[in-house]
Structure 1
Amino acid sequence: MRAELSSYVTGFWRVLPQLVFATLFFLLTVAVIRVVQWIVPKVLRRARMRRALVDVVVMLLTVGLWLMGSLLTLTIAVPSITPGRALTALGVGGVAIGFAFKDVFENFLAGILLLIREPFSKSDFIECQGIDGRVEEITIRDTHIRQTDGQLVVAPNAMFFKNAVTVRTSTDLRRTTIICGVAYGEDVDAAREVIERAVKDVDSVRDDVKDVQIFAKEFADSAINFEVTWWTGSRPVDIRASRDKVVAAVKRALDEAGIEIPFPYRTLTFAEALPLTRKDAPPDDDTASSRD
């Protein structure tokens, strides 16, 4: 028993310098990581790099330093484990972990690519796979979308990376369109001029940047339909507010000009002639005698 205890003590004292050196090296690694996390963001921000890209660079440096420091610490504490063997074991374990956490790593890599490429940014209004709203936050794993009805949707980054994304606020202006019908008895050119003047008078219509376009579109069932197109702000609320003002202005202008916006008309055709009776006509003799 004493011999075994003595061998343990002797072995401990033999490896103690290695353990102390490994501990010191690990603490040095932690200190280096803290310094990198403090200095690198300041340097990159002074270089006017995007904040999302700064976060990605700091995260990759941190992961790389942790991996390298942990491997070197392990080889110092246990010299029999060489860096090559450690990397081999790490590779085998990484494959197993990769299969187990496939979706997590997929979203992680998609998040890095989204932050680097930045197809959309915070405060943009986007639409993807039925999700429509304003981007509130983009993280490494997911993206937070505040829908126009106030609900928050947290969606995985892989969805935005693998599917088409509509960025509604990629520019300051968006085009919007309404259909306006006038009766067949009205003058088409005169109606077009009235509609055009009404649309241009709306303050939210940016006719100083893009022209207002009005085209006679089709012969509908009860009216000649005009396609009215103009440019306004790109946010959803800008589109709705501008459409509201334009509809009201066009209706008011057509009413003042005496141009009819028709209700649907229906023409009924009967196979046989129907007898017509005037409401104030006297009854037939047969009808009168039957009443008597």
Structure 2
Amino acid sequence: MESKLEANLYNAWDKMLDKLTDWLDIFILSIPNIIIALLVFTIAIIFSKYLRKFTLKILKRSNLQASMKNLIAKIVSVVVVLLGLFLILGILNLGKALNTILAGAGVAGLAVGLALQGALANTYSGIILSYVKQLKFGDWIKSNGYEGEVIDINLRAVTVKQKDNNLVYIPNKLVVENPIKNYSTTAQSRVILNCGVGYESNLENVKELVIETIISNFKDVKTDDKIIFLYKEFGDSSINFETRFWINSTSGLEVAKAKSKAIIFIKKAFDKHNINIPFPIRTLEFSNNLTMKNLKLETSENE
């Protein structure tokens, strides 16, 4: 019994040694192919880097967005590396492994696509935004409730810098699917200012003073026909008006600054000409029968 077991062990050991010897022979015979494969892989990596730089250099002459230029350059680089890997598999006689990898990649790609629907949607939307001429770096836009300057467009999100210098990252899918208000598509922006004057004011003089103040303090406004002045309503404590004028800027920050300056200049002009900007006033009226004596008596009775 023991001799039979020893014979089986020796037989298994011999087979294992034969297998290892065969593998060693195959490895020794494949050393030239392995060296060539390593050289091909190294050349593919180096060539992909140079080709990426060359592609970026060529694309700089085009009108594509910077994010789209980087995307195309990366795709070219990845394609070169993949071609190098396929060539390496051929050199190492791993054709069957290549077919297995491609089949597995198809199944894995389907699973990954289902799991990353949101990310892929943002990537596809980023590619679309890269071709949209109406949206580019430096534009002042309003989208999805956020307003600011576009400082970056990548494959995931549009980066907007707001007036307070905070950054907002809006997913590309939301930008594509929702309306975009681009203030930079025109060369000018409108400043809208609301105010009110007291009921005792001469409305014609107020109108002339406001228009004159804007013209004298804003170089972009040269004539009064560029200013719209409208009285809006009889308010609770003032007659309210609205004035509108244009400035040569598409930045929301510059519009806010112009509005702030206009408030300062108009307030100074009103103070100089004794024009009142009233705050809400409430008047209480008492009947003639109510006197301070009666009020004191009622108060003491309640106590």
Residue of structure 2 in register with 1:275 after alignment: 289
Residue of structure 1 in register with 2:277 after alignment: 261
Q: Could you tell me how far 1:213 is from its partner in structure 2?
A: 0.7
Structure 1 residue identity aligned to 2:124: L
Q: Could you tell me how far 1:228 is from its partner in structure 2?
A: 0.5
Residue of structure 2 in register with 1:195 after alignment: 210
- Equivalent residue pairs, number: 277
Residue of structure 1 in register with 2:296 after alignment: none
DSSP 3-state at the match of 2:226 = coil
Match of 1:241 among 224, 243, 257: 257
Task: Give the alignment of 1:35-50 within 5 angstroms.
Answer: 35-46=50-61, 50=65
Kept in 1, the 8 Å contact 2:134–2:185? The answer is no
Q: Does 1:89 align with 2:104?
A: yes
DSSP 3-state at the match of 1:179 = strand
Residue of structure 1 in register with 2:182 after alignment: 167
DSSP 3-state at the match of 1:201 = helix
Structure 2 residue identity aligned to 1:32: F
Q: Could you tell me how far 1:203 is from its partner in structure 2?
A: 2.2
Match of 1:226 among 226, 234, 241: 241
CA distance in 2, matches of 1:229, 1:77: 75
Q: Does 1:138 align with 2:150?
A: no
Residue of structure 2 in register with 1:180 after alignment: 195
Q: Could you tell me how far 1:211 is from its partner in structure 2?
A: 1.0
CA distance in 2, matches of 1:181, 1:209: 20
Report the aligned-residue RMSD. 3.5
Residue of structure 2 in register with 1:105 after alignment: 120
Q: Could you tell me how far 1:82 is from its partner in structure 2?
A: 7.7
CA distance in 2, matches of 1:73, 1:119: 45
- Which piece of structure 1 moves more, 227-236 or 105-114? 105-114
Kept in 2, the 8 Å contact 1:72–1:83? The answer is no
CA distance in 2, matches of 1:257, 1:209: 20
Kept in 2, the 8 Å contact 1:207–1:230? The answer is no
Kept in 2, the 8 Å contact 1:181–1:223? The answer is yes
- TM-score, normalising length from structure 2? 0.73
Task: Give the alignment of 1:57-68 within 5 angstroms.
Answer: 57-68=72-83
Kept in 2, the 8 Å contact 1:183–1:260? The answer is yes
Residue of structure 2 in register with 1:114 after alignment: 129
Q: Could you tell me how far 1:192 is from its partner in structure 2?
A: 1.9
Q: Could you tell me how far 1:263 is from its partner in structure 2?
A: 4.0
Kept in 1, the 8 Å contact 2:192–2:245? The answer is yes
Listed one character per residue, the Cα deviations across residues 148-202 of structure 1 (whole Å, up to 9, x for unaligned) are: 3343444544343333344344444211211222334444334322221122222
Kept in 1, the 8 Å contact 2:65–2:130? The answer is no
CA distance in 2, matches of 1:56, 1:206: 44
Structure 2: 5+ residue stretches without partners: 1-13, 293-303
Structure 2 residue identity aligned to 1:87: L
Q: Could you tell me how far 1:269 is from its partner in structure 2?
A: 6.1
- TM-score, normalising length from structure 1? 0.75
Listed one character per residue, the Cα deviations across residues 22-72 of structure 1 (whole Å, up to 9, x for unaligned) are: 444433422331231232222222456554332122012122323333334
CA distance in 2, matches of 1:107, 1:8: 48
Residue of structure 1 in register with 2:267 after alignment: 251
Residue of structure 2 in register with 1:284 after alignment: none
CA distance in 2, matches of 1:73, 1:221: 84
DSSP 3-state at the match of 2:244 = strand
Kept in 1, the 8 Å contact 2:183–2:250? The answer is yes
Residue of structure 1 in register with 2:92 after alignment: 77
CA distance in 1, matches of 2:252, 2:174: 23
Structure (1 or 2) with the greater helix fraction: 2
Q: Could you tell me how far 1:86 is from its partner in structure 2?
A: 4.3
- Which piece of structure 1 moves more, 44-53 or 225-234? 44-53
